[in-house]
Amino acid sequence: MKRILASSVLGAALLGAAAIALEPGPFTAEQSRTGRALYAANCAACHGSELKGAGEAPPLAGSTFIAAWGNRSIDELYNLVKASMPYGNGNSLDADTYRKIVAYVLTANGAQPGNKSFTGNENIAIATIADGKAPVAVAEAAPARGGESGAPRPATSYPATRFGLTVAGALKSYDPVTDAMLAHPKDADWLMYRRNYQGWSHSPLSQVNSANVKGLQLQWSWAMNDGGAAQVTPIVHDGIMFLSNTANTVQALDAKTGELIWENRVGPAPTRAYGATRSLALYGDKVLVPTTDAKLYGLDAKTGKIVWQTVIEDAKEGYSNTGGAITIHGKVLVGLTYCNRYETKHCFISAYDVNTGKVAWRFKTIALKGEPGGDSWNNLPDEFRQGAETWIAGTYDPDLNTTYWGTAQSKPWTRASRASGAGATLYANSTLALDPDSGKLKWYYTHAPGENFDLDEVFERVLVDHGASKDVLTIGKVGVLWKLNRVTGQYEDSAQTVFQNVYDKIDPKTGIPTYRKDVQNSKIGEWISSCPGPAGGHDWPATSYDPKTDLMVIPLHQSCVLMRAEPMEKKIGVGGDAGSQRLFEMPGTDGNLGKLAAYDTKTMKALWSFQQKAPFLTGVLTTDGGVGFVGDFDRRVRAFETATGKTLWQTRLPTSAQGHIVSYAVDGKQYIAIESGLGGGSPVGKPTTLLPNIHHPGNGNAIFVFALPDN
Amino acid sequence: MRQALIGIVALLALSPASMAWAEDFETRLSPSPLTDGTRINIAGEGRVKASLDGKTLTISGDFHGLVTPATTAQIYDGLGIAIPGPKAFDLTVTQAMSGTVSGSVTLTAKQAAGLRAGHFYVQINSQKAPDGNLTGWLLPPHPFAGEDVPVAGAGFLPQLDVPQKSGGR
């Protein structure tokens, strides 16, 4: 009965009917009043001072919130907030603080305080007390966003400090990075995101091998900034490690000793869940720094001083860069993320002169009306065509002079919320082949036309040759490993790596998938199953390709979701992902969320695989020593034999292993650098919900460098 | 001697039929679909084995770790693996936070086909999770090699409805 009532109230609220009187909320005015300041301190950094949400932080007020939560109970909201917030540090505040924050959130949705104190046990449908319309007093007195000047900072924020060149120093010498170096990197270097232009995440070093890897010892470690997600890649050139931290702090360290040479706290302090770019880039005498506030900086590699800076897009509108960069022919290419609001603007890939920061070109990743592919959006007005973010930097084939980028799904997540019908929503969830000099599109291939479940196909594009066949491989959240001809974009082959129930079939000639009937026909408010769920299959922890064995080692995640499409008001400025989720274990996995598998990229057959409870949260590294490395949610880092998957060595870090493992050499000695890191989206959030018995500290971003003993 | 011979012949006559019809299924029971907000009431785990002998499906299993006592248990007929569907049969379940679940039901040919395609799942409800506390999809036996233990190939992928795609050129 309560549900029926809630549905009625919700329906009325959505239709704008004001006749239904709301009952007083089960909280006091005092709880709501003090909750406002607590919200500002702990929540506003991600969800915004006006509770509108941003990026992956959903709106906590208004019609979108009520649509998602109106039928759910207040105690479920309280339990969710308590268990999972502040993001990455669930249950870190006292219960009274959580109660007051929830009271404020309810007030901001039009709930009126009553006489009873909120206890957290109230099984009352939210739509019976709130309609999503903020009282004027609340709307006008929205608390300042945490992290902004003078406002309280979120509990997980970067410590208050000064910014700028905080440690002055200079490299004794620096060999400028050239196109030739990038095309043929020295064995000792790790010059870019996944080491080479082909995106292999493979080191040709072999000093550490399957026979001696058990002798690895810690050489040095370095605590990194906490606050915000850290999924970084150490970049190493001639014995210098360039390290990106949260707050867009960049450090130059002696890669042999861990001694700090210079530090530039570019800033700003993290005001959102993402705190550090996944990868810096090098070119000439510059370190290129795409920042989380959607700017791009050119630093002097010798001193860390800012030479130039430019704005990629306006961060005040929510845009960000987390996906790193790639440098080609004197240009730095970057993507853009958080393009999930209805705007007249759209997401794009862009290129800048490495010496001046001057923009060279932009490629818009959304096809608008009248443009090629513009008829793939069910005739939606241009401003309601969003998403297709590029939150993983591309790769590059110098011979073909083509750069390959993946795009994310269209927004909102579901077909029903988008109102995009069966349209492919170009160029979302596609591989884009671009001319790096002009930004001109050479070809595209859409892996998941009209995606429906937050199943990105944005991840690394790995370039592999098999004789005369020039292939590009990629794997997305649905867990299908795709192989395309990278000259033409023609589909070649695919292989399924985890159980999936999203597609009824994949056309063997074209690779075009057919969605289940109930997915095709899904409507607002229906719970629809998806295996895998939004953590993948495969997510940002990158694959590694070993050219000696032709094996691609893939970190995989196994969980499922019921997703409910929520209504999304078609209005400029409104935004979000508009999908509610309920998570569950993937059938047939025995509760093992983690899976590591090795695929022969010629035959597309799996050679070996193993499972474990904890999902993997680092990219894989393989080496010419026949040894691979990977780290997980449960703080473990292991070395495994590439040919067999057998674990050869393991250790544990202070908190979850996260980021991209790299290998480099200084003075002839091979090092393995591994990050412990926190934060991020589904790959961290889903296991946090599904594996409550796996614990790791809520701080501890750091780098750990291992090597064999000198003797 | 003659009696023994008759017995052997009779056994040979019966065995192929009974062996041909005996099909085993199994599942781990794990928390039903949840959020951070509902997992406080949706917890626990268990194991269920099932055997289809002719038209008779026999279920037996155990569970533990519920937050509130189990109330009911059913077999559901999903639309596919991990795709929920309507309730098909009631099972007997211990009305406690740990215990057993069991039942024996008769399947139609269509239901048996659904079972073989992985569409059937066991669900245990509890006082504070009346719409699902533990769920497990009945699948062919799939022994787990153990954490970190490599196996040849991709491992168990229950693509019973949608065959695994590979080699499409």
Q: How confident is the model over A657-674, as pLDDT tens digits?
A: 999 999 999 999 999 999
Answer CATH for B21-137 from 3.30.70.3270, 2.40.30.10, 3.40.109.10, 2.60.40.200: 2.60.40.200
How many domains are there within chain A? 2
The residues near A14 (Cβ < 8 Å, ≥ 6 apart) are: A63, A66, A67, A567
Return the exposure string of A257-288: e unless at least 16 CB atoms fall within 10 Å of the residue's CB, then b. eeeebbbbbbbbbbbbbbbbbbbbbbbbbbbb
Asked if B32 and A689 come within 8 Å (Cβ–Cβ), the reply is no
Interface confidence (ipTM) of the complex: 0.89
The two three-digit tokens of residue A607, written as one number:
């050679």
A124 and A231 in a single domain? The answer is no
Asked if A80 and B36 come within 8 Å (Cβ–Cβ), the reply is yes
Q: A591 lies in which domain range?
A: 177-707
Mean confidence (pLDDT) of chain A: 92
A206 in Cβ contact with A547 (< 8 Å): no
Give yes or no for B65 touching A (CB within 8 A).
no
Q: How many residues does chain A have?
A: 711
Alpha-carbon distance of A335 to A357, in angstroms, equals 15
Q: In terms of CA atoms, which chain B residue is nearest residue A642?
A: B150
Residue A291 covered by a domain = yes
User: Given this model, what pLDDT does residue A64 score?
Assistant: 82
Q: What confidence tens digit (pLDDT) does each residue in A420-475 have?
A: 999 999 999 999 999 999 999 999 999 999 999 999 999 999 999 999 999 999 99
Question: Which of A141-155, A567-581, B13-27, B118-132 reaches the highest mean pLDDT?
Answer: B118-132
Return the exposure string of A157-174: e unless at least 16 CB atoms fall within 10 Å of the residue's CB, then b. bbeeeeeebeeeeebeeb
Average pLDDT of the residues in A2-30: 59
Question: Which chain B positions have a beta carbon within 8 Å of A582's beta carbon?
Answer: 33-35, 38
Q: Across-strand partners of A449?
A: none
A310 and A406 in a single domain? The answer is yes
A118 and A194 in a single domain? The answer is no
CATH number of the domain bearing residue A421 = 2.140.10.10
A694 and A546 in a single domain? The answer is yes
The two three-digit tokens of residue A35, written as one number:
């909750």
Enumerate residues 81 to 110 of chain B having a beta carbon within 8 A of any beta carbon in chain A. Answer: 81-84
User: Given this model, what pLDDT does residue B13 score?
Assistant: 46
Residue A495 covered by a domain = yes
**Using N-to-C axis directions, what is the helix angle for A95-108 and A74-84, rounded to 10°?**
130
* DSSP SS3 for B105: strand
**Dihedral (CA of A668, A669, A670, A671) sign:** negative
Angle at A398 between CA A392 and CA A404, to 5 degrees: 30
A224 and A79 in a single domain? The answer is no
CA B120 to chain centre: 7
Asked if A511 and B168 come within 8 Å (Cβ–Cβ), the reply is yes
Chain B: give the shortest CA distance to residue A341, in Å: 25
Closest partner residue to A83 (CB to CB) among B39, B84, B137 is: B39
Give yes or no for A647 touching B (CB within 8 A).
yes
Beta strands in A356-511 (DSSP E): 359-364, 386-387, 395-397, 402-406, 410-411, 430-434, 441-446, 462-466, 469-475, 480-485, 491-496, 503-506
For A709, list phi and psi in degrees, rounded to 5: -65, 155
The two three-digit tokens of residue A598, written as one number:
């090795």
Question: Which chain A positions have a beta carbon within 8 Å of B152's beta carbon?
Answer: 607-608
Supply the pTM of this predicted model.
Answer: 0.91
A483 and A548 in a single domain? The answer is yes
Residue A60 covered by a domain = yes
Q: Of B29, B68, B76, B81, which to mutate for an interface test with A (greatest number of A Cβ within 10 Å)?
A: B81
Query: So where are chain B's domains?
Result: 21-137
* Whether the predicted pLDDT of A9 surpasses 80: no
Q: In terms of CA atoms, which chain A residue is nearest residue B136?
A: A587
* Whether the predicted pLDDT of B17 surpasses 70: no
Residue A148 covered by a domain = no
Enumerate residues 7 to 36 of chain B having a beta carbon within 8 A of any beta carbon in chain A. Answer: 27-28, 30-36
Give the position of tokens 């035959």.
A603
Residue A170 covered by a domain = no
Question: Which chain B positions have a beta carbon within 8 Å of A588's beta carbon?
Answer: 137, 139, 142, 156-158
Which of A142-151, A366-375, A516-525, A695-704 has the lowest average pLDDT? A142-151
Give yes or no for B165 touching A (CB within 8 A).
yes
Give yes or no for A86 touching B (CB within 8 A).
no
The one-letter code for the residue type at B42 is: I
Q: What percent of chain B has pLDDT over 90?
A: 80
* Whether the predicted pLDDT of A687 surpasses 60: yes
The residues near A359 (Cβ < 8 Å, ≥ 6 apart) are: A310, A350, A351, A352
A112 and A218 in a single domain? The answer is no
Average pLDDT of the residues in A287-306: 97
A619 in Cβ contact with A660 (< 8 Å): yes
Q: Of A60, A585, A630, which to mutate for an interface test with B (greatest number of B Cβ within 10 Å)?
A: A585
What are the C-alpha distances in Å from A378 to residues A318, A422, A451, A516? Answer: 26, 7, 14, 19
A564 and A495 in a single domain? The answer is yes
Residue A47 covered by a domain = yes
B25 in Cβ contact with B141 (< 8 Å): yes
A134 and A236 in a single domain? The answer is no
* Whether the predicted pLDDT of A121 surpasses 50: yes
Residue A158 covered by a domain = no
CATH number of the domain bearing residue A103 = 1.10.760.10
Q: What confidence tens digit (pLDDT) does each residue in A312-329 have?
A: 999 988 899 999 999 999
Alpha-carbon distance of A474 to A463, in angstroms, equals 9
Which of A93, A115, A140 finishes a domain? Answer: A140
Residue A167 covered by a domain = no
**Dihedral (CA of A654, A656, A660, A663) sign:** positive
Q: In terms of CA atoms, which chain A residue is nearest residue B40?
A: A79
